[in-house]
Amino acid sequence: MFGRLLWASLRARRARLALALMAVTLGVAVAIALGTLALQVGDDLARTLRAAGPNFIVLPAGARLALDLGGVAIEPARSGLALPETDLALLKDSFWKHNVLEAAPELAVAATIGGLPLRLDGTWFDRQTATADGPWRTGLARLHPTWRLEGRWPRAGTSEIALGRDLAARLGVTPGHRVRVVVSDQASEWQVTAVVAAGGLDDRRAWAPLDRVQTLAGRPGVIDRVWLSALVRPETRARAPDPARDPKGYERYMCTAYPAVVARELADRLGAVEVLPMTEVVQGEARVVGRLNLLMLLLALAALTASVLGLFSTTTAAVVERGVELGLLRSLGASGSQIGALLLGETMLISLGGGALGWALGSAGAAAIRGETFGTGSPLQPLLLPVALALSLAVALLGTLGPLRLALRLDPATVLRG
């Protein structure tokens, strides 16, 4: 009997229930779309931000970076510390090998270029190296894809050089010119193949093939440092949990790609090295991702609030229109719980349908947004379907409580006499 009443009520109010279905569908669709993006856009955005350059540096144990005071580089003594060039392949042989995106080795040597004393940096520009999982193509060009290049990068094994924009302007050279390079009293003519617009102090630098600089410096097969780009997650706590007091928390922490965890694992894998996160870069990316997730949360709450208000107004209007019907049911002996079950049953059925539709629309919308922004669409997320249904039931409950109280306060005698 209850089922027949419920079905007849739904059929008799198709237009108004369609409005309620639309309100729930749109609200859940927006929430699911934003939730899907929040789950996936963190890594997408991190990969996009990785185009800005490295966020880790690998140094020999005991070494430190050069200090920069007002544009003057001061190199602390390093006592001949160096890294084997072959260590780069080990970066792809660690637990976080899939998080390691790009890397570029660097060997610096004091030089005079065109009469200007400066530092000549040897590096890989675009090179394929063998790893345990197969060939890995990386280098300076892939580590800094946003640098604007006039000309081409130098080729390995040649006396070719790339100059920063400011340095090239001071020397008055362009791609195709030749410059005199003096290293350890050895002078030779090098061809300029590229002028690089990198920004900041990098516009004053010079780069050459790593093997040529190793030969000039008399340090074959070694490097000073490795610039590294890796996907990491923002730190959620100041330090790792105590494994003795919180073993599960410690395990979760060590299995999450936090900067300190990735640095520790890479250092253990390479041995006798220091892997240092570039703190300002990592924290800046974390702030961007955190604020984006907060914005998505606020938009989802606003959409669900609009759904609740839309359902509330639709249900209230339906209760007012059905006053005589509800009064007649009460006069025939229907209890308040039965009236409430009828109204809640109608709303929840409509809301569950709206939740399923909202999940499908929201997933499709998230795929379209992600594809346009990051170049790849996202598949449907089945795990979010129960979330969509739970949200729709919550919207149904919040949107029906007020109208339900109004229906239960109706006086059958007054309504029927009117």
DSSP 260-276: HHHHHHHHHHH-SEEEE
Q: Quick: pLDDT tens for 197-239.
A: 998 889 999 999 999 999 998 899 999 999 998 888 777 666 7
CA dist., res. 229 & res. 291, Å (int): 22
Residue type, 30: V
The domain boundary, picked from 244, 277, 310, lies at 277
The domain boundary, picked from 277, 301, 321, lies at 277
* Residues 101, 195 within the same domain: yes
Q: Report the pLDDT value the prediction gives residue 70, as an integer from 0 to 100.
A: 44
For residue 145, what are the domain limits? 55-277
Q: Quick: pLDDT tens for 374-415.
A: 555 555 677 788 888 888 888 888 887 777 776 666 656 565
* Residues 295, 351 within the same domain: yes
CA dist., res. 52 & res. 200, Å (int): 13
**Residue 79: exposure state from Cβ atoms within 10 A (0-12, 13-18, ≥19):** exposed
The domain boundary, picked from 277, 295, 311, lies at 277
CA dist., res. 92 & res. 269, Å (int): 10
Nearest residue to 230 via CA among 92, 71, 364: 92
* Residues 141, 272 within the same domain: yes
Please report which helix (H) or strand (E) contains residue 389, including its range. Answer: helix 384-408
1 SS3 class: coil
* Residues 173, 267 within the same domain: yes
* Residues 84, 67 within the same domain: yes
Residue 235, token pair as written in the block:
């730190």
Q: Report the pLDDT value the prediction gives residue 259, as an integer from 0 to 100.
A: 86
323 SS3 class: helix
* Residues 65, 205 within the same domain: yes
Tally of CB atoms within 10 A around 137: 11
Tally of domains within the chain: 2
Cβ contacts of 9 within 8 Å, gap of 6 or more: 342, 346
Phi-psi map region of 12: left, alpha, beta (phi>0 left; psi -120 to 50 alpha): alpha
Q: Cβ(177)–Cβ(230) under 8 Å?
A: no
Residue 121 has pLDDT above 90, yes or no: yes
Q: Cβ(222)–Cβ(272) under 8 Å?
A: no
Phi-psi map region of 137: left, alpha, beta (phi>0 left; psi -120 to 50 alpha): beta
* Residues 337, 292 within the same domain: yes
Mean pLDDT for the stretch of residues 233-256:
78
Q: Report the pLDDT value the prediction gives residue 153, as an integer from 0 to 100.
A: 95
Residue 87 has pLDDT above 90, yes or no: no
* Residues 95, 237 within the same domain: yes
Residue 291 has pLDDT above 70, yes or no: yes
Q: What is the DSSP string of 206-235?
A: EEEEHHHHHHHHT-TTEESEEEEEE-----
CA dist., res. 109 & res. 215, Å (int): 11
Mean pLDDT for the stretch of residues 84-106:
90
Kindly report the pTM of this predicted structure. 0.66
* Residues 298, 227 within the same domain: no
Q: Quick: pLDDT tens for 316-374.
A: 777 666 665 666 666 665 665 666 666 777 777 788 888 888 888 888 888 777 765 55
* Residues 234, 264 within the same domain: yes
* Residues 384, 258 within the same domain: no
* Residues 255, 344 within the same domain: no
